[in-house]
A and B are shown apart, each in its own frame.
Chain A
Amino acid sequence: MRGAKSAKWVAGAIVVALAATACGGNDDGGDKPKASGKPAGYVSIDVGEPQKALIPADTNESLGSYVIQSLFTQLLDFDADGNIVYTNAESIETKDSKTWTVKLKKGWKFHDGTPVTSQSYIDAWNWSANIDNKMQNAFWFEDIKGYEDVHPEGEGAKAKAKEMSGLKAVDDTTFTIELDKSVPYFEYKLGYATWAPLPKAFFDDPKAFGQKPIGNGPYSFEKWTHKKLIQVKANEDYTGPNKAKNKGVQFKNYATVEAAYQDVLSGNLDMIRQVGPKDLPKYKSDLGDGAVEQEYAAVQSIVPAFYTKQWKDVDPKVMQGLSMAIDRETITKTVLNNTRKPAKSFTPPQVKGNQDLDTEVFDYNPDEAKKLIKEGGGVPDNKIFIQYNTDGGHKEWVTAVCESIRNATGVECLGDAKPDFATDLEARDNDEVKSFYRGGWVADYPLNVNFMRELYGTTAEANNGRFSDKEVDELFKKGDNAKTLEESIKLYQEAEKVLVEKMPAIPLWTYQINGGHGKDVDNVKVDFHGDFEVTEVTVK
C-alpha cells in the first residue's frame, strides 16, 4: 500500500498546485459592484479591441477609428449629407487647388493643456508620412510636395528627409500645404482621422502614447482595459461644433454580436453597431424606436480578375450580361434580410456626385442578360467562380448570386471559398484569383472620386482586378486636373458613365447598418461611413 499512499499524496499536491494557480489568477473575479460599472451620464457602445495601438496614422480598421475619432479632431469633418464642416480649422482656402492655406481656430488645447498650433499638425504629418515610422496610413500624405523624400519608393527604402517641403507654418495658427500637383478634392481627404494633430508628448514616446493617447478631441482618454473596455471622458473645455452631449463613452468589447445584442436587451449596453443575423428578423420588434436602420457610403461588388485567361480580352457586354443576370432586388430582400440596397451605379447615394446613370445594366433581366452574353462572345469555359472569405458572412449571398446567374443564363457559377480574409487578400495580391473576387469599399471621404479613382485607375493600389483602360485613366486624370471641386466631381461623373460601358466590376449593393440602442439613450445618429455619432448621443 505504500506506493498507493504516496501516489495519493503526489496527485493531491498537483491538484492543489493547479487549483492555487487558478485562484491566484482570478482575483478580479470577486463581487465588485456590477451593473456594468458605468459612471453616470456615460453611454456605452459595442466597439471591440482595436487591432493596433491608438495612433491616428496607424489605424485603418473601424474599431480603432471609433476611439481615435472620439479623442482627436482634425481640421474638418462631414455632416450626414457629406458636406464639409470645419472643426479645428477656421478656414481652408485655395486659389489653384495646389497650395492650400489653413487657418486654425484659436485657443484650442490638447488634453494635456498644450496648445494646438500649426506645428502640431505639421510635425504630426511629417512623422506619420515618414517611412521609418512604418505608419499604415502613410500613403494618405502622398499628395503633399516632398512626400517622396520622407517616403521613397522601392525595397529597403529609407527616408531622405525628415520634413515634407510642402508644409510651411506661417504663424501659430496658420500654415500652408503645397501639393505636388493640383488636387481639387484635397480638402475632402483632410476629413480622414489620419490627419489629426499630435501633441509634443507623442514624439517623446510614440509607443507609450499609443496606449494612453492625448488628443484634442471631444473626449479625453480615461482608461484602456485590454480586450474589455476603453473609457473616455467628455472634454469640458472643447469648443468644436461636435462637443459631447454626454459625459463620456465606454467602448466595450463583446465576444460576439449576439452577446452584445443580449446586453442591449437587458440594459447593460446602450448601443449596438450591427445586429447579428440571428437577431435580425426580430430586432425591430425588440428595440422598437431604438432600432437604427440607415444606409451608408459603401459598395459591394464582384470584380473580375482581368489578368486571367478567362477575362483577359473580355467584351464588356459579357459583364453587362452577367450583371443583368443577378436579381439584386430579391437577394437583398431575402438572403440578406434587407440589410443591403441594390446598387444602381458604381457609387453609393451618400457621396457627392452620385448620379442616376439611366442604364438597365443593374436591373434584373434574364432575356437581355442571355442576349448580351451571346453578343459578347459568351463566357469562356461557360463557368465562373466568385472568390470570398468564409469568415465574413458572405457565403449566403455568393451562393444566391451564383444561383441567380445560373438560372438566368445557364452559365455555371461556383463560390471559391477562402478560409479567412488574410488568405483571400493574399490570393488577390498575388494575382491568383480564378475568375471574380468579392470587393467591398467603404468611403474614406464622401465623394464619387473615392469610389472610382482608388479602385479602377491603372496604377491604383486597391485595383486588385488589374483593370486597365486608357480612356478611363484619361478621364480620371482630367477630373484630377479640374480647377474646382464641382468641376472635378462632374468630370468623374462623366467617367462613371464610361465605366458602365467598360464594366471594371459588377456592383451589387450598397451597405446599410442595422443597429440599435436601448431605452436609456436617445439621439443616436449615423454618419456617412456608417459609424454612430457618439458625441450626439444623449442620456435620458
Chain B
Amino acid sequence: MGRYVARRLLQMIPVFIGSTLLIFLMMFALPGDPVRALAGEQAVDQAQIAALKAELGLDRPILVQYVSYIGNVFQGDFGTQIASQRPISEVILDAYPVTIQLALFAFTFIVVAGILLGVIAGLKPNSIRDRGLLGLTLLLIAVPSFVTGYTAQFVFSFKMGLVPPNVGLEPSWNEMLMPAMVLASLSLAYVARLTRTSIAENLRADYMRTATAKGLPRRRIVGIHLMRNSLIPVVTFLGTDIGSLMGGAIVTEGIFNIKGVGGLIYEALGRREGATVVGVVTIIVIVYLLASLIVDLLYAVLDPRIRYA
C-alpha cells in the first residue's frame, strides 16, 4: 500500500516535467511578442525591446530558458511577470485562495446534492420523481453556464435581493454561494445521472436479493451494500471534476467578478506571459495527479476486492 502510493508519487515527476515542457514549448510557439505588445500601437524602440528581453532572459534559446526555469521552480522561484515585474508565485497566491474556496464549495454541493438526488431517483426507477430528476438534469446540462449565471444573478440578486450580485474585494461565504451553485450545476447533473443509473442497475443485483433475504434492515442494504457498489463510476467522475474545478472557471468567474485562476490564465495567455501560464498549469497538473491518486485509493475503500500492493 505505502509502496503503491510512493510509486504513484514518483511517477508524477516525469509527468510534471513532460507537461511543463510541452506547455513551455507551446507558449513559445505562439505568435506575438509579450515585450513588443506592451507598446501597443505606440512607437517601438527595437534596441530597448532587446535590452528588456535580455534582462528577462527571453533572448536565450528555448531549451536553456526551460532548464533554468525548472531549476528555479525547484528552488521555489516561479519567475517574474514581464509587464508587472511582480513575482509569479505572488500572482498565483493572489488568485488561488478564491478559486479553491469556490471549488470546494461547489464540490461539496456536487457531492451532497448530486448523490442524494441520484439515490432518490435511482431507488424508484421510472417513477415520477425519477422522470422529474432526468428532466431537471437534462435542463442543467443543456443550458450553458453563462445563461444559468446571468439568470441566477438577475433573479436572486436583483429581483429577490437574497444574495449580493458580485463577489467583492474580500470574498465571503454568502457571496460565494450563488457562484458555487452555478458552477456546480453542470457536474451536479452528471453526478445525479451517474448515481441514478448505477443504483437502478444494482438494485436488481444478486447480492441485493441475498441481503434482503438475510433480513437486513433496508437502511443498511441501501446505505452500505448498494451505495458502495454504485459509487465507483461516480467517484471516477468526481476525481477528474475536482481537477477541473481547481483549474478555474473562467465563465463563472467573469459573471460574478471572482478574480481566480481562470481569469489569471486567460489574461496571461493574452499577454503571452509564458512563465505565468506554465506556473499555473503546473499546479493544475499536480492537482489532477493528486486527485486521480485519491480516486484510485478510494476504489479500494469502496470495493475490497480491489487491492494495491
Interface residues of A (CB under 8 A from B): 1, 3-4, 6-8, 10-11, 14-15, 18-19, 21-22, 25-26, 28-32, 34, 36-37, 49-53, 60-61, 131-132, 134, 136-139, 151, 153-157, 207, 210, 225-229, 252-256, 258-260, 262-263, 265-266, 268, 391, 420-423, 425-427, 429, 439-441, 454, 460-462
Contacts and interface: CB of A to CB of B under 8 A. Distances in A.
Given A255-B254, A263-B257, A36 B168 contact: yes
B177 to A, nearest CB: 13
A138 B48 contact: yes
B36 A3 contact: no
A52 B83 contact: yes
Contacts of B50: 155-156
Interface stretch (B62-70, B115-123, B199-207, B292-300): B292-300
B105 to A, nearest CB: 10
A83 to B, nearest CB: 25
Nearest to A429: B36
B136 interface: no
A84 to B, nearest CB: 23
Contacts of B254: 255-256, 258-259
Given A10-B297, A461-B43, A462-B42, A22 B37 contact: no
Contact of A60 (B42, B294, B309): B42
Contact of B101 (A4, A15, A22): A22
Interface stretch (B10-18, B27-35, B71-79, B212-220): B27-35
B168 A22 contact: no
B101 A420 contact: no
B301 A131 contact: no
Given A227-B259, A422-B270, A425-B36, A34 B168 contact: yes
B104 interface: yes
Contacts of A7: 1, 297-298, 300-301, 308
A436 B283 CA distance: 41
Interface string B23-66: 00000001111101111111111111011100100000000000
Interface string B164-176: 1110111111000
Given A4-B307, A423-B31, A61 B40 contact: yes
B271 interface: yes
A4 to B, nearest CB: 5
Interface string B253-284: 11111110001000001111000000000000
B163 to A, nearest CB: 11
A50 B81 CA distance: 13
A15 B170 CA distance: 26
17 contacts: A8-B301, A11-B294, A15-B294, A31-B173, A131-B47, A131-B48, A132-B51, A139-B45, A226-B94, A252-B169, A259-B255, A260-B257, A266-B157, A266-B164, A422-B36, A425-B37, A454-B43
Nearest to B149: A258
Contacts of B33: 422, 425-426
Contacts of B41: 425, 439-441, 462
B298 A11 contact: yes
A262 B165 contact: yes
A268 B171 contact: no
In the A-B complex, the 7 residue pairs with the closest CB atoms: A422-B32, A461-B43, A259-B257, A25-B97, A7-B300, A422-B37, A11-B297
B168 A207 contact: no
Given A4-B301, A422-B270, A422-B272, A29 B37 contact: no
A39 B4 CA distance: 56
A175 to B, nearest CB: 26
A25 B168 contact: no
